[in-house]
Amino acid sequence: MRRGLLWILLIGMALALIVLLASHETGTIVGLATQDFASLVYHLALIVFIGGTVLVLFRGRFAKALEAALFWIVVGLVLVVGYTYRAELRDVSERVLAELMPGRAAQRSARVVEIVRGRAGDFQVAALVNGARLPMVLDTGASAVVLTQDAAKAAGLPLEVLIYDVSVDTANGRTRAASVTLDRLAVGGIIERAVPALVAQPGQLRTSLLGMSFLNRLESWEVRGDKLVMRGYP
């Protein structure tokens, strides 16, 4: 089998070479330019060689060979489609993760993010404060962003020098907080710098609050059903 395929290939290439040499002066072979005919012969020889190799390697197992070829063809097509539509697939994956993980910001565009309402009915927000990922709850009744002691420590704020001289109302009643400025506060692709905030006294706040000192810096924000939509300035 192998010798037969080899002889067929060699004889075919020899005949093609003879035809090319004989037709060199005319410039055409059976209606094709000599260059096109040579290219056709080359590709046919390559196909025969690869096909013969496959048959030799998988003789008696043609079904398995065909199955393997189809598998890699499908894999190649999936990779091509995935690369072509990578932007759309990334958007879909972010939306799916936002639905499954309340608080995760789904990026609708460069400056628009969506957050899905949590199971408790509030909007939990995964924010980056000075590079630290901190869980927050949207609180439009809070005049400023308010951090717990643990959140402030994670954000690298100097707790030992804070002065708690600002009166604030919380769910536990009136308490005092320290005024600070956050170098960077980001929700998804929306990034604000030098954001005024407060740090609650130890034990006075269970969850950090995303208040109006951040929301007022946005171009707009609104609640659409179970989604919070925030739009930053260009």
Tens digit of pLDDT for each residue in 72-81? 777 766 776 6
Of the candidates 222, 149, 221, 144, the residue with the CA atom closest to the CA atom of residue 185: 144
Q: Report the pLDDT averaged over residues 43-60.
A: 61
Check residue 2 and give its pLDDT: 47
Domain that holds residue 12: 2-84
| Residue 130 · residue 184 · CB < 8 Å | yes
Assess whether 80 and 115 both reside in one domain: no
Assess whether 37 and 122 both reside in one domain: no
| Residue 190 · residue 230 · CB < 8 Å | yes
What confidence tier does 192 reach under pLDDT thresholds 50, 70, 90?
very high
Assess whether 117 and 72 both reside in one domain: no
Report if residue 226 sits inside a domain: yes
Assess whether 212 and 107 both reside in one domain: yes
Assess whether 206 and 114 both reside in one domain: yes
Per the structure, the count of domains in the chain is: 2
Q: Report the pLDDT averaged over residues 106-129.
A: 84
Check residue 226 and give its pLDDT: 85
Report if residue 179 sits inside a domain: yes
234: tokens are: 């260009």
| Last-in-domain residue among 51, 84, 117 | 84
Report if residue 98 sits inside a domain: no
Q: Burial of 2 by CB count in 10 Å (0-12 exposed, 13-18 middle, 19+ buried)?
A: exposed
Report if residue 96 sits inside a domain: no
| Residue 147 · residue 200 · CB < 8 Å | yes
Check residue 159 and give its pLDDT: 93
Task: Between 201 and 69, name the one with better pLDDT.
Answer: 201
Q: How far apart are CA 115 and CA 198, in angstroms?
A: 23
